[in-house]
Amino acid sequence: MSTLNINGKPMSVEASDDTPILWALRDELGMTGTKFGCGAGLCGACTVHIDGQAVRSCVTPVSEAAGKKITTIEGVGSDKLGAALQAAWVEQGVPQCGYCQCGQIMSAVALLKRNPRPTDAEIDEAMNGNICRCGTYNRIHAAIKKVAHSQGGKA
Ligand code: FES
Ligand code: FES
């Protein structure tokens, strides 16, 4: 049993220390915005933040989050940058099936937090590990650039 700080609230989970955070979120807490794709750290569908860093929750154990702050797609919209990216996603009509998009947004927020003015190449590099089987990459790129522009960036 552990207490995790998720989206600013303490939440108790029964999951053992080595359980991936993904399953504590989805199975115990019913927070199903974070998706299971590959289960091996390869697709990015399960991306959450730990202390602002994008991590793959399918391969990150509950013990890694001890004393840290987890942010999920359910909470990222209460952050100004998270809300701006979500709005840009809607405006650009980014999603197709939608399955990968929560992970895409979490990676995009982490990118713009650490680098508010990414170049095209930096966007591509940062988003490289988030797979979209529907091929929405161009719209994802455009949405990130739009928010970077609105922050006064050059991207
Ligand atoms: S489900 Fe975690 S990286 Fe694919
Ligand atoms: S929108 Fe379908 S997998 Fe990305």
pLDDT in tens, 119-139: 999 999 999 999 999 999 999
46 has pLDDT over 60? yes
**Is there a single domain that holds both residue 37 and residue 56?**
yes
Q: Which atom of ligand 2 is found nearest the CA of 133?
A: 3
11 lies in some domain: yes
Pocket of ligand 2 (CB under 6 A): 95-101, 132-134, 136
Closest CA to 115 of 149, 148, 79, 82: 148
Nearest-atom index, ligand 1, CA of 57: 2
Closest C-alpha residue for ligand 1 atom 3: 41
Specify whether the backbone of 135 is left (phi greater than 0), alpha (psi in -120 to 50) or beta: left
Q: Which ligand is nearest to the CA of 39?
A: 1
**Span 57-74, pLDDT tens digits:** 999 999 999 999 999 999
* Cα 114 to ligand 1 centroid, rounded to whole Å: 22
| Cα(72) to centroid(ligand 2), Å | 18
**pLDDT tens string 93-118:** 999 999 999 999 999 999 999 999 99
Q: What is the CATH number for 131?
A: 1.10.150.120
Same domain, 61 and 88: no
94 with 128, same domain: the answer is yes
66 shares its domain with 127? no
Q: What is the pLDDT of residue 154?
A: 45
- Is residue 78 predicted with pLDDT exceeding 50? yes
pLDDT over 70 (residue 31): yes
Residues 10-25: pLDDT tens digits?
Answer: 999 999 999 999 999 9
Number of compact structural domains in the chain:
2
155 occurs within a structural domain: no
Task: Please say if the pLDDT value at position 155 is more than 60.
Answer: no
CB neighbour list of residue 100: distance below 8 Å, 6 or more residues apart: 35, 37, 43, 44, 45, 130, 131, 132, 133, 134, 136
Same domain, 86 and 42: no
Domain boundary among 75, 91, 125: 75
Q: Are residues 38 and 57 in the same domain?
A: yes
Query: For residue 45, what are its two tokens?
Result: 């569908």
Domain span including residue 117: 77-150
Ligand 2: atom nearest CA of 98 is 1
Among 75, 99, 122, identify where a domain stops.
Answer: 75
Of 75, 97, 126, which closes a domain? Answer: 75
> 95 and 134 share a domain?
yes
